[in-house]
Amino acid sequence: MSSSVLPFGLLTLGQSPRIDVSPTFDAILGDEAAYGQAGALDGKSLDEIRSLGPGPGETGIETRLADGTAVMLSRRKLLPLLAGQGKRLALGCRHVVLLCSGAFPELRRPDIPLVEPVVLVRGIIKTLARGKTLGVVGPASDMAEAPEQWRAYARNVVTAAASPYGGDIRMVTQAAMAAESQGAHVLLLDDMGFTMEHAAAARSGVGIPVICATTATAGLMKEMV
């Protein structure tokens, strides 16, 4: 494989570059911080982005535009764009890392060498939260489905909403404390928008282990180099 091929490509649901999370990847990867970036919404106008919003009765997915604005998207409308950008990244990267902690089985295809954070995080949570109560912190739009998504990996699941997109970082501390007050033994920051700073803010308010999907994924990437 050509030496010009990068080890990783970061594939985001919104727009690249993800300057909010790239400092976390840079800090953990260190000298191995060589990666490309692409987003499903790259090059899209505001009108085009609005047309990708969820329809009536459809649960939206929250992500970030290049200017930091949070937007809600339809998963169904997003998938073809995401797959196209994943294929483009694969032309110059050995691995395509999905910047989303949700499951996207539609992207598991031969032309996209996909690294799914959710697979890694599930293993961590199964190890730490087996027989215990898991606290999940993430955007409000994700919290209704979180108990169903994570109950196979913990005895019980509680949730508290906090978005990493454009909000006060203290909201993450408050959400972590709310989850702990509901009996959580382990806390998961379940969004790839959460950074090292968000994880530190969560840990400052609780006395339980805090797993951040973003930092866990960056740690795996460092091992893969």
Question: To which residue do tokens 């505001």 refer?
Answer: 46
| pLDDT confidence of residue 3 | 54
Which residue range is the domain that position 73 belongs to? 6-116
Note whether residue 134 is domain-resident.
yes
Q: What is the DSSP letter of 57?
A: T
CA 66 to CA 19: how far, in whole Å?
8
Q: Considering the entire predicted model, what is its pTM? A: 0.92
Note whether residue 60 is domain-resident.
yes
* Dihedral sign (CA 59, 51, 76, 79): negative
Shared domain check, 123 and 208: yes
Shared domain check, 129 and 76: no
| pLDDT confidence of residue 79 | 96
Where among 71, 91, 116 does a domain terminate? Answer: 116
Where among 101, 116, 131 does a domain terminate? Answer: 116
Note whether residue 24 is domain-resident.
yes
| pLDDT confidence of residue 31 | 79
Q: What is the pLDDT of residues 109-166, one digit of tens each?
A: 999 999 999 999 999 999 999 999 999 999 998 999 999 999 999 999 999 999 998 7
Where among 69, 92, 116 does a domain terminate? Answer: 116
- Count of domains for the chain: 2
| pLDDT confidence of residue 2 | 43
CA 61 to CA 59: how far, in whole Å?
7
Note whether residue 225 is domain-resident.
no
| pLDDT confidence of residue 147 | 96
Whole-angstrom CA distances from 81 to 7, 17, 72, 89 are: 22, 16, 15, 12
Shared domain check, 152 and 130: yes
Q: Which of 185, 175, 178 is CA-nearest to residue 208?
A: 185
> Which ranges of the chain have pLDDT less than 50?
1-2
